[in-house]
Structure 1
Amino acid sequence: MPLADFLTSTLGKLEVQYHQMGEAIDPPIRAKLGNRKFFRHEQQSDVLLCYLKGVKFVSTLNAAVILFRHGYAQEVGALCRMADDFFFEIMFFVKPLGENAPSKDQQRMFDDFFREEFENPDDPLGTGIDRDNVPRRKINAAFGQIAKDELNPHDAQHTASTVHKALSGYVHGAYPHIMEMYGGNPAYFHMSGMLGTPRIIEWEDQLITYVY
């Protein structure tokens, strides 16, 4: 079976499991915001947050496999950075980091996640709401503490930070990352995918790791 087909099949099974988990969560209802209605949950919880981050994680990896099939290795890298974010944000809520209660940063991320983008969706330019993101270093530090039974906390935090920074180059278009698009005989910038280049082989291993 081709690798992309195997990854698609594996993610399909994971998607089925997520639909099954979703049966334990109250479905969203149509809530009025401004003059329109949007799907929103009546009850917010850390369980719901983690579930929804997982939904986004599976969707992102499905998109990454589609791009991989067409040779868009750079864009796969950007989506893997997103997937990393979702994974570590889920891990951030695995257990309370305060004294038998969520830490201030956990509560901060919780509030920010469920915050609406606009006070009034009918007036997006005039009612935007500022985000209050928890710094990535704090999330990585929390992962180090959660994984301390398996990894040295410093090593776990350092590894998470290094991978995050490396993949960020695909998101922001850093020079070294853009230059990965150049090659061939004669050499040129591959702007319609990178099928047939060494980058595809490299990202085969990366995608296996992320889906695993």
Structure 2
Amino acid sequence: MGKMGDANSLTDFAVGEMMSAFELLRKSVPAPQEVEHPKGFSWRYKEQTIQQALLLKLFRLISNLDAARVLLSLGKVMECGALKRLLDEANDDILFMAAPLLGHPKEDIHDEYLRYFWEEEFDVPGEPMKSSQKRGMVRRDKIQAYNARVISPTDPSTAKKVDSAIFKTYSGYIHGHSQHIMDAYDGKEFHLRIEPGMRPYDATLEDFLNYPYRCVMASSFIAYAFGDRAVQERLRSAYKSIGD
């Protein structure tokens, strides 16, 4: 089958299990409603609960995982790297949001995070040029520090260093740093599509094989936070089968 075949197979399985979980979990929260604005209407979760936020993060996680696989299969290593960074960020956010529902301390930054998450991009709907607000955000290092205390309460410093290192690995693909762009060069020419056998492709594929496992595990945290043990156990079984 080859490693790309393995990546396709694992991702298909992971996406299928995660989408099944998504469809089951979304039945337990109030549905989106129409919100009118001058240009028509948009769908929104009016209640803006933590469970609804986790549900949206789950859908984004599924979509990004599937997209990263597609881009890698097309040799788009730089773009796949950017999506890996987004996947790392989503995994961080899911643990951060779910942890207080799993018995860990809730802090002020949780309320701050949710407030920014639900905030509309423009304060004058349908008129972006007239909007004046600037969306805030909780600093990434604060989220990582909280997660480190959850994951490793006896040694949060090391846990945070590990998380930061993973996060920084693909940051350059987001921001277009020179060394990441140079992945497209083979000593003679720059390639829009990087083929199997080229070092950047093989290294990216090798690392990508970890993502279906990590994403399904993060999804199980969401099911646990929802209190749906049946979905949690199904996802737990899924990521264990991926890891075997």
- Deviation of 1:95 after TM superposition, in Å, equals 2.8
Partner of 1:92: 96
Partner of 2:38: 34
In 2, Cα distance between the equivalents of 1:115 and 1:87?
A: 21
Q: What does 1:99-138 correspond to in 2, within 5 Å? A: 102-138=106-142
- Deviation of 1:123 after TM superposition, in Å, equals 1.3
How many residues are paired up? 207
Distance 1:122 1:4, change over 3 A: same
Q: What does 1:42-121 correspond to in 2, within 5 Å? A: 42-96=46-100, 102-121=106-125
Unpaired runs of at least 5, structure 2: 214-244
Q: Say whether 1:178 aligns with 2:181.
A: yes
Encode CA deviations 1:137-195: one digit per residue, 9 max, x unaligned: 1011011011015x7311110111112122110111111111111116xx211123444
- Deviation of 1:43 after TM superposition, in Å, equals 1.1
Partner of 1:18: 22
Larger relative contact order, structure 1 or 2 (CA cutoff 8 Å, min sep 6):
2
Partner of 1:188: 189
Distance 1:82 1:128, change over 3 A: farther
In 1, Cα distance between the equivalents of 2:169 and 2:86?
A: 12
Q: What does 1:135-150 correspond to in 2, within 5 Å? A: 135-148=139-152
Q: Say whether 1:157 aligns with 2:160.
A: yes
Q: Percent identity?
A: 28
- Deviation of 1:128 after TM superposition, in Å, equals 4.1
In 2, Cα distance between the equivalents of 1:34 and 1:113?
A: 23
Q: Which has the higher helix share?
A: 2
Alignment TM-score, normalising by the size of structure 1: 0.90
In 2, Cα distance between the equivalents of 1:17 and 1:174?
A: 37
For 2:10, give the aligned amino acid. Answer: L
Alignment TM-score, normalising by the size of structure 2: 0.79
2:122–2:128 Cα contact (<8 Å) kept? yes
Where 1:71 maps in the other structure, the secondary structure is coil
Where 1:93 maps in the other structure, the secondary structure is helix
Unpaired runs of at least 5, structure 1: none
